[in-house]
Homo-oligomer: A and B are copies of this chain.
C-alpha cells in the first residue's frame, strides 16, 4: 500500500470553492476500487491550508486515479485557487 499526503494552501477567497470541489473529488475517489482511504483535513493553525491523506492499494491504483474523469476535471480547477503549488509526497507504509 502507498500513502499520499497532498498539501495545498489556497487563496483566502477561494477556500469555499475549493471545499466544494474537494467534496466532489472525495465522493468519487472513495468509489474507486484501488482507494483504501481518502480524507481531507484542515490545518488547525492556518484555515487556508488543507491536506488530503490518502491510502492506495498500489501504484496502479494511483495511476488509475490520476487518469479518472474526476481527477482530470477537478485538479486543473484547483490550480487557479492555490496560493502556492501543492506539495504531493508519497510514502510507503512501515506499520
Identity of the chain B residue whose Cβ is nearest the Cβ of A50 in the assembled complex = B94
Grouping DSSP codes into helix (H, G, I), strand (E, B) and loop, the A interface class, with mixed when no group exceeds half, is strand
Task: Specify which of B22, B43, B91, B92 is in contact with A91 (CB 8 Å cutoff).
Answer: B43
Shortest distance in angstroms between A7's beta carbon and chain B's nearest beta carbon? 9
A86 within 8 A of B: no
Bound Cα distance from A50 to B94, whole angstroms: 9
Q: Is the CB of B53 within 8 A of A19?
A: no
> How many residues of chain A have a CB within 8 Å of chain B?
24
Q: Is the CB of A39 within 8 A of B90?
A: no
6 extra interface residue pairs, beta carbon distance < 8 Å, beyond A41-B93, A42-B92, A44-B89: A3-B39, A41-B92, A41-B94, A43-B91, A45-B89, A53-B53
A interface residues with partner B (beta carbon < 8 Å): 2-3, 5, 19, 22-23, 26, 39-45, 50-51, 53, 89-95
